[in-house]
Amino acid sequence: MQELIVILVDGLVFSSYLFMVSVGLTVIFGVMKILNVTHGAFYAFGAYMSATLIGAYYNTDLPEFGGFLAIFAAAIIVGVFFGIVLERGLLRFLYHRDEHIIVLATFAMFLVLEDVLLMIWGTDPYYAYEPMALLGAVDIVELTFDVYSLTLIGLAVIVALGLWLGLTKTKWGKLLLAVIFDREISQAMGINVTVVFTVTFVVGSIMGALGGAYIAPTISVSPGIGVEVIVLSFAVVVIGGMGSIPGAIIGALLVGISRAAAVHKFPEIELFVIYAIMALVLAIRPEGLFAPPQARKI
């Protein structure tokens, strides 16, 4: 019983991590139909900015819990800046081009941003463990867990709820859904698709940066951290269905809990589990579990 509960907790924590790092990717694809490889760079920049701001904050005499604000500030700074610069400065010139060209362009931007990151922060790792140390640890079924990692579950729930409410209960969300369903008809009906695209890309960028910013206190923030995230995000998004937020949630839960179970019961297949699930889902439903319905145009 203890092991079962531990698998569930570990699985939920990892699922939350997966959801946080993949939700930005799925939001952008859902609206803009762009497979945004730059997402990995947003994650990395979010982590570096978070580590920098946290470090700077804890060098002051300000209240300790204020350091958490640095995490969200980092995500917003990185997401807004890169979201606007990339969407307005690059992607808007490519919307009429083939999807493959856009993927290649975002991949090129990812490589460029990786080097920009090295120019700014160098190759030395950055540490920002203070928030994790501050929250301490708690025992669950006689096993110690750090509270910070558990808060990731809460953050993922808040983000998922926020996106669901935003999409279904607000005027802006309904406009987004209309664009997701049919971009051309939405434009014909007077929706300013250009603004929708820019805002969506910025929101997706903030989500990507928030994933990195929140994870930063638990890792060594060092070069290359964005690469792994792209692979994981793609796996989750493909399983759930490209562009589906419920799909990202289910995909993250499926992968996270299966992986935790593998680690505890069959650790030698841990690496295999994520891709086995992906292969299985794609074999049964090539469009993913929750892919939004495609309008049939005549």
Partner 1 sequence: MKTFEKAGRATLLATGLAAAMGLSTGIANAAESVIMAVPTFLTGAGAPAFGVPARNGAEVIIEAINKGTLPAPYDKSGKGLAGRQIQALIYDESGGGVKQVAEFRNKVQKQGVDLFVGYISSGTCAAITPVAEELKMLTIFPICGTPRIFEEIDKTPKYVFRTMGHATADGVAEALYVKANLPDVKGYTGINQNYAWGQDSWRDFDLAMKQLMPSVPVSDKTQWPKIFSGQYGAEISALMLSKEPLVHSSLWGGDLEAFIFQGSARGLFRKKQLLFSVADTSVYRLGKKAPAGAILGARGPYGIFAANIDTPLNNWFRKVYQDRYSVPPVGGSYQAAQGVLAAKFAYDKAAAANGGKFPSKDQVIAALEGSTFQGIAAPVHMNRSNGHQAATKHMIGVLQWDKEAGGPIMTKVTEFGPDCVMPPPGVNGTEWLKGGMKGAKC
- Tell me the closest approach of the beta carbon of residue 239 to partner 1, in angstroms: 17
Check binding of 137 to partner 1 (CB under 8 A).
yes
Residue 12 or 176: which CB sits closer to partner 1? 12
Binding segment for partner 1 (CB under 8 A), chosen from 2-10, 56-64, 99-107, 168-176, is: 2-10
Distance, in Å, from the CA atom of 92 to the CA atom of 72, rounded to the nearest integer, reads 27
Among the listed residues 94, 104, 146, 177, the single contact to partner 1 using CB under 8 A: 146
Binding segment for partner 1 (CB under 8 A), chosen from 31-39, 78-86, 96-104, 132-140, is: 132-140
What is the residue type of 217?
P
b/e 99-132 (16+ beta carbons within 10 angstroms → b)? eeebeebbbebbeebbeebeeebeeeebebbbbb
Q: Are 245 and 160 in contact (CB under 8 A)?
A: yes
Other beta carbons within 10 angstroms of residue 215's beta carbon come to: 22
Check binding of 220 to partner 1 (CB under 8 A).
yes
Binding segment for partner 1 (CB under 8 A), chosen from 72-80, 124-132, 164-172, 276-284, is: 124-132
State which of positions 81-120 bind partner 1 (CB under 8 A).
111, 114-115, 118
Other beta carbons within 10 angstroms of residue 231's beta carbon come to: 12
- The DSSP result for 7-44, as a single string, is HHHHHHHHHHHHHHHHHHHHHHHHHH----TTHHHHHH
Distance, in Å, from the CA atom of 94 to the CA atom of 294, rounded to the nearest integer, reads 22
Check binding of 50 to partner 1 (CB under 8 A).
no
Instruction: Tell me, residue by residue from 259 to 298, as one string, x for binding to partner 1 by CB under 8 A and - for no binding.
Output: xx--xxx-xx-xx---------------------------
- Tell me the closest approach of the beta carbon of residue 123 to partner 1, in angstroms: 4
Check binding of 144 to partner 1 (CB under 8 A).
yes
Listed as own residue / partner, the contacts of 188-197 with beta carbons closer than 8 Å and 24 or more positions apart are 194/92, 196/31, 197/31, 197/32, 197/87, 197/92, 197/95
Check binding of 132 to partner 1 (CB under 8 A).
yes
State which of positions 176-205 bind partner 1 (CB under 8 A).
none
Which residues are CB-contacts of 187 (< 8 A; sequence separation ≥ 6)? 193
Binding segment for partner 1 (CB under 8 A), chosen from 55-63, 68-76, 202-210, 223-231, is: 223-231
Helix (H) or strand (E) holding 53: helix 39-57
Tell me, by CB under 8 A, how many residues bind partner 1.
48
Which residues are CB-contacts of 119 (< 8 A; sequence separation ≥ 6)? none
Residue 187 or 218: which CB sits closer to partner 1? 218
Give me the residue label for tokens 């505890």.
264
- The residues of the shown chain that bind partner 1, judged by CB under 8 A, are 2-3, 6-7, 9-11, 13-14, 17, 111, 114-115, 118, 123-125, 127, 129, 132-133, 137, 143-146, 148-149, 215, 217-220, 222-225, 227-228, 259-260, 263-265, 267-268, 270-271
